[in-house]
Structure 1
Amino acid sequence: MPSHDAATPAIETRDLTKRYGDVVAVDGLDLAIDSGVVYGFLGPNGSGKTTTMRMLTTLTRPTAGEAFVAGTSITDREGVIDHLGYLPESPPVFDELSARENLHYVAALHDIPRDVASERIASYLERFDLVDAADRRVEGYSKGMRQKLGMVQAVIHEPEVIFLDEPTSGLDPRAARTVKDLVAELADHDVTIFLSTHILSVVEELADKVGVLHEGDLVAEGTPAELKRRAERDESTSLESAFLNLTEDRDDEPVDAVEEPA
């Protein structure tokens, strides 16, 4: 359950900006996302989504503006880190360790008592159908198995805010259903989910609110139904149609692909 003041947004940004030289990756982003909200973060490739997530998870410093996660400024990395979970597009797993060892390592980083960690790990391994492979080295895992392991790593410490970048990538339908059910279950317990994906049906099913980022700017925000109405199509219009309408006739710049200076 969230421990910060319920009146304070779980995620808040004010004029959040990131530049790489002359390239503006994220331009004055303002967000306020409440506890328990599943926020679908959409945008074409290179729109600034990954850069935004990296700033909010303290992996990249903003050029300007400020942001808060669970009421704590992202400038306080130690203060923020235990409040958030993060699944990047490529899960950060150690190939030389087994899945069980990876999870115990992450649990130890978050000071979870070993008996508590063992119980949670056993439950998640069962839930994600990884029991038979739990003690095998991860180097032999498929993309889908790595993705499931990365998802467990993101939630094992029961964070208040979870950032998910393409969480169903590489998953078969059954595993994707498990991820979607877990997201819904966490949101029911007031965990905030910041969900970035190109699979719009996932956003349409799960998101309470959607933000559309394009060329570093937030060009639209609202419920999936509101975005459909904004697209000025008929009632059967999908979120995909609304998304395409909102981002049409714009030139995409490969912002997310820009290398951050050393």
Structure 2
Amino acid sequence: MGLMVEAVRTQGLYKRFGQQVAVGGVDLIVPKGSFAGLVGPNGAGKTTTLSMITGLLLPDGGLIEINGHNVWADPVSVKAHIGVLPEGLRLFERLSGRELLLYSGRLRGIPLEETSRRADELLRVMDLVESQDKLVIDYSTGMRKKIGLASALLHNPGVLFLDEPFEGVDPVSANTLTDVLRRYTESGSTVIFSSHVMDLVERLCDWVSVMSRGHIVAQGPLAEVRGDQTLNEAFLDLVGARGSGDEGLSWLGSSGGPR
């Protein structure tokens, strides 16, 4: 096996909010060309980590490199080569889907004719052609995620960051998103997405980083992290979340309650 080329690397990444340490010294590695999952329970620090890596939130300490470039030394240059689909996606809702893509292209400095051509292709692949003239405010959750992904892909970034991209998305839209992301990584680009849905990560990813309480507790190829268990079983062991399930709640079920 050749030398691993890293798309993303952090060293000692640290962030606190008041007394609370949200990210407590994270060393994240993501190989170039991988479909990588950043997994952890809610509150593990995934969104904070991704926000720092993508230049949206200033770290309190640590180093971040994307394709060898220091994110916080030259944020504008790095942002030109990444795509981001943040959690709680905020879009320009009074634009139509097509207008949103054309606007994104102009913001990125792509000539209008090329932007228009790429927008046409993305709308077709995302199955949004019939909705392209509807205002984004009237889009469903699945449609919003698809137009958000189209917008993040328009400038052909080398690394794509997605925060809970399948949250609240219907199965048909999720299938479309998955197909597009697979094609993207097969071309040598890198996808990093955060999730707490283990079977989704198991199905899509070849690399996984497990976060718990602001730290990375396991990281590497999916098969290595999982071992001979399902990823969900390995994850529960890693984050120390296995309970016997029989303590308390004696009142719950058919034996309890008023007759």
Q: What letter matches 1:110 in structure 2?
A: R
Please state if 1:20 is matched with 2:12.
no
Other structure's SS at 1:93 match: coil
Deviation readout 1:99-148 (Å, 9 max, x if unpaired): 11111111111111111111111111111111111011111111111111
Q: How many residues align?
A: 239
Name the SS of the counterpart of 2:87 in structure 1.
coil
Q: Percent of counterpart pairs with the same letter?
A: 41
Q: Which residue of 2 aligns with 1:240?
A: 232
Separation in structure 2 between the aligned mates of residue 8 and residue 127 of structure 1, nearest angstrom: 30
SS of the equivalent of 2:38 reads strand
Aligned mates of 1:149, 1:23 — CA distance in 2: 35
TM-score of the superposed pair, with normalisation by structure 1: 0.87
Query: Offset at 1:208?
Result: 1.4
Does the aligned pair in 2 maintain the 1:97–1:137 contact within 8 Å? yes
Cα separation, 2, equivalents of 1:193 and 1:47: 20
Equivalent positions of 1:1-262 (< 5 A) are: 9-75=6-72, 76-229=74-227, 235=228, 237-249=229-241
Query: Compared with structure 1, are the counterparts of its residues 142 and 240 closer, same or farther at alpha carbon in structure 2 (3 Å cutoff)?
Result: same
- Deviating beyond 6 angstroms after TM superposition, the runs of 4 or more aligned structure 1 residues are none
The one-letter code of the counterpart of 2:201 is: V
After TM superposition, give the deviation of residue 84 of structure 1 in Å: 0.5
Larger radius of gyration: 2
CA RMSD of the aligned region, Å? 1.6
State the distance in 1 between where 2:231 and 2:192 align.
18
Contact 1:36 1:192 in 2 (8 A): yes
Gaps of 5+ in 2: 243-259
